[in-house]
Amino acid sequence: MRFMMLMIPRGYEAAAPDEAPSAEAVASMMAYNESLQRAGVLLALDGLHPPSTGARVSFSGGKPKVTDGPFAEAKEVLGGYWMIDVASREEAIAWASRCPAGDNEVIEVRRVQELADFPPDVQEVAAKYPEMQGLARSG
């Protein structure tokens, strides 16, 4: 089963565009990332620049509206993610629990939807797009 572990650093919603973690924090995180890789469960990972450098596209009334960051209404934002492939939710939580996160960080663990999770009619529609099946895993 694939799970996404989402890093939610409190305060990141107001981070300056050039804000970066300390070398010590990066070293600890890289050691953790290596442990995921050595265990054979890591599929992908990335850190994200602060929201002040991003944009949000909303669709009120069916028309796209772009709002540049930072986002005043944001209470929690993503700082990065890991995609892992493990046997169970419990194993995913165990991996998240080993992360060297700081006091201001939370990791949300969410299972990735697989085609088999959907009813037959949805699977039938998706089957018309075989090139999209497993796209995230093909790199």
C-alpha span between 44 and 56 (Å, rounded): 23
pLDDT digits (tens, 9 = 90+) for 53-108: 999 999 999 999 999 988 878 888 999 999 999 999 999 999 999 999 999 999 99
- Mean pLDDT calculated for residue range 121-127: 89
Asked whether the predicted pLDDT for residue 113 surpasses 60, the reply is yes
pLDDT digits (tens, 9 = 90+) for 11-51: 888 888 888 889 999 999 999 999 999 999 999 999 999 99
What per-residue confidence (pLDDT) applies to 131? 83
DSSP state letters, 22-76: -HHHHHHHHHHHHHHHHTT-EEEEEE---GGG-EEEE-GGG--EEEESS-TT-S-
What per-residue confidence (pLDDT) applies to 134? 66
Q: Could you tell me the pLDDT band of residue 2, with boundaries at 50, 70 and 90?
A: very high
**Model confidence, pTM:** 0.85
